[in-house]
Structure 1
Amino acid sequence: MRATDPGQAIAALCLHPDDFAVRMARDGVGGAYTGGTQVVKVCGITSSEDALVACQAGANLIGVIFAPKSARKVTPEQAKAVVQAVRNFGERHQDHTFKPPNDESPLPHLVSCSRQLAEASRRPLVVGVFQNQDSSFVREMVDSCGLDLVQLHGQEGFAAAKVESCGVPAIRVVDIVVDSESGRAAENAVETILESITSDPIAILLDTAIKGQKEGGGTSRSFDWTIAEKVQAAGLPVIIAGGLSPENVKDAVAGTRPFGVDVSSGTEASPGRKDHQKVRDFVQNAKQAAVEANKGF
């Protein structure tokens, strides 16, 4: 068994039916996350053509960016076209409705949400990415464009990820701040993440931020993936982003077994335009690596 903590991994398997209920009832303790990579997100989509290619490749989440400073920012009209293309591909004619889990403690809540998200995204869902934008604008884009989820990528805080605030469930980005020269993160990065989470978002996404830069994300740089591995060993499923590409996603999935992976610039021909072969290669490599990684569990 290749888990960081084999004892936690074995406990998380819940080999007896009663074990699951007992484990989920524990406050804040859920055993190691051992579910492997179940969600692949292709972000920075600006056209229905690129969205369709990602869906055909097997992507679970299609990201459209509304952040004002992004080179991949979409207009509402572009976002609507992407949503329509994704829904047509999945033969889905209405919004997906998520059922709020009963778990109040963050870890059990997020574990329950990860199961829902993995199941729901078997038919691709569209995620609107926002950064430090007013909740009224977020809700307006959700309602007018038909977004299934949102992703909060700024300094909005966890409370902003409430469904009541966004209109739909939200993925909350947590920045892994690394030194610009050494690329190292703080020694207490894992503890900081685990202490900061709340039950407000549907999922946690870890991305790279450069120390001293005001805006996180979009760095095209990876953080130390062992941070994600350690966070998941504590029971928190995470999506990882930052510097992923068709070339390195196999290593990320095989070594870390994250709940999800997220790519944007790593599959581009130019900012906002996808290289269709890179998209296909990324999704295929991620999913093949996930199958292989699960053989050791």
Structure 2
Amino acid sequence: MALEIKICGLSTPETLDAALGAGADMVGMVFFPPSPRHVDLATAQALAARARGRAGIVALTVDADDATLAAIVASVRPDLLQLHGTEPPERLAILRARFGVPVMKAVGIAMPADLDRLAAYDGRADRLLLDAKPPKGAVLPGGNGVPFDWNLIAGRAFETPFLLGGGLDPANVGAAVRLIRPDGVDVSSGVERAPGIKDPDRIAAFVRAAREADTAATAPARPADTSPARETSLS
């Protein structure tokens, strides 16, 4: 399966077009007022209409109640609900059944013990997002621009397709793809010039770097040359 690339926290037509033009597979909108990337329903509805049929539409929420989710689903009609809070594993099936929308669960990782919490969602979500656990005192559950130790998950198999997030940017996404071999990558602050302000050039550079790394990682190895060496004469 080709690498999925998600650009999250989009809030303007110009930056949405930059993500679509670069070839992003998914575009995310944030519904969390404390975030500088938060969008209202009217803005999100217009952005979703612009993206529909060109990329998957992801609605990110943080411990949202059913009424809030119902309003988002009715207005935006997302292809995927991203749960970025403390939602328990059993809530995933409840929301999927109620709204008929696949669910991606974000899990913050900072230490080996966090992998136990991750395991509780594996097989229950439609996708997992392996994100960096927010630093102590952080207001936002994601988008803090800090990566976690990728060696914690290197070589680990998951039942559920997963995206890697947390501190990715155009400079390090290639290394992450080569080491982890995720099903997808997710970026937000790593393609911004300021909190909440996406940079079209950085978006393009991120997608290009991720695609190049994925292509290199999946290319078949060239067979070794086993033919006898030729003798050459300089006379």
Q: What range is the shorter-chain TM-score in?
A: 0.7 to 0.9
Residue 220 of structure 1 aligns with which residue?
145
1:146 to 69, 73, 77: 77
2:47 to 48, 69, 82: 82
1:56 to 21, 31, 35: 21
Asked if 2 retains the 8 angstrom alpha-carbon contact of 1:135 and 1:166, the reply is no
The aligned amino acid for 1:61 is M
Deviations along 1:237-272, whole A, 9 cap, x unmatched?
321111000011010111111111000011112222
- Deviation of 1:277 after TM superposition, in Å, equals 0.5
SS of 2:85's equivalent in the other structure is coil
**Could you tell me the percent identity over the aligned residues?**
32
The aligned amino acid for 2:6 is K
Q: Which has the higher helix share?
A: 1
- Deviation of 1:78 after TM superposition, in Å, equals 1.1
The aligned amino acid for 2:108 is D
Residue 47 of structure 1 aligns with which residue?
12
Residue 99 of structure 1 aligns with which residue?
none
The aligned amino acid for 1:138 is L
Asked if 2 retains the 8 angstrom alpha-carbon contact of 1:135 and 1:165, the reply is no
Deviations along 1:97-141, whole A, 9 cap, x unmatched?
xxxxxxxxxxxxxxxxxxxxxxxxxx4111010001102211211
CA RMSD of aligned residues (A): 2.0
Inter-partner Cα distance in structure 2 for 1:151 and 1:134 = 13
- Deviation of 1:227 after TM superposition, in Å, equals 2.5
- Deviation of 1:160 after TM superposition, in Å, equals 2.4
Residue 154 of structure 2 aligns with which residue?
229
Asked if 1 retains the 8 angstrom alpha-carbon contact of 2:105 and 2:121, the reply is no
Residue 243 of structure 1 aligns with which residue?
167
1:260 to 163, 184, 190: 184
Provide closer, same or farther for how the CA distance between residues 158 and 235 of structure 1 changes in structure 2, counting only shifts above 3 A.
Answer: closer
- Deviation of 1:218 after TM superposition, in Å, equals 2.4
Does 1:280 find its partner at 2:204?
yes
- Deviation of 1:145 after TM superposition, in Å, equals 1.8
Provide closer, same or farther for how the CA distance between residues 171 and 235 of structure 1 changes in structure 2, counting only shifts above 3 A.
Answer: closer
The aligned amino acid for 2:125 is P
Q: Which runs of 5+ in 2 are unaligned?
A: 222-235
Deviations along 1:43-89, whole A, 9 cap, x unmatched?
010012211110110101100000121111001111011111112xx
Q: Which runs of 4+ in 1 moved over 6 A?
A: none
Q: Which runs of 5+ in 1 are unaligned?
A: 1-34, 93-122, 179-184
Larger radius of gyration: 2
Residue 227 of structure 2 aligns with which residue?
none
Matches within 5 A, 1:1-80: 38-80=3-45
SS of 1:204's equivalent in the other structure is strand
2:106 to 169, 173, 176: 173
Provide closer, same or farther for how the CA distance between residues 273 and 210 of structure 1 changes in structure 2, counting only shifts above 3 A.
Answer: closer
SS of 1:284's equivalent in the other structure is helix
SS of 1:150's equivalent in the other structure is strand
Asked if 1 retains the 8 angstrom alpha-carbon contact of 2:107 and 2:131, the reply is yes
Asked if 1 retains the 8 angstrom alpha-carbon contact of 2:102 and 2:126, the reply is yes
The aligned amino acid for 2:147 is S
Residue 137 of structure 1 aligns with which residue?
68
Given the two structures, how large is their TM-score scaled by the length of structure 1?
Answer: 0.68
SS of 1:41's equivalent in the other structure is strand
Asked if 1 retains the 8 angstrom alpha-carbon contact of 2:129 and 2:164, the reply is yes
Given the two structures, how large is their TM-score scaled by the length of structure 2?
Answer: 0.85
Provide closer, same or farther for how the CA distance between residues 288 and 209 of structure 1 changes in structure 2, counting only shifts above 3 A.
Answer: same
Matches within 5 A, 1:93-108: none
Relative contact order (C-alpha < 8 Å, sep 6+): which is higher? 1
- Deviation of 1:216 after TM superposition, in Å, equals 2.6
The aligned amino acid for 2:165 is A
Aligned length: 218
Asked if 2 retains the 8 angstrom alpha-carbon contact of 1:57 and 1:280, the reply is yes
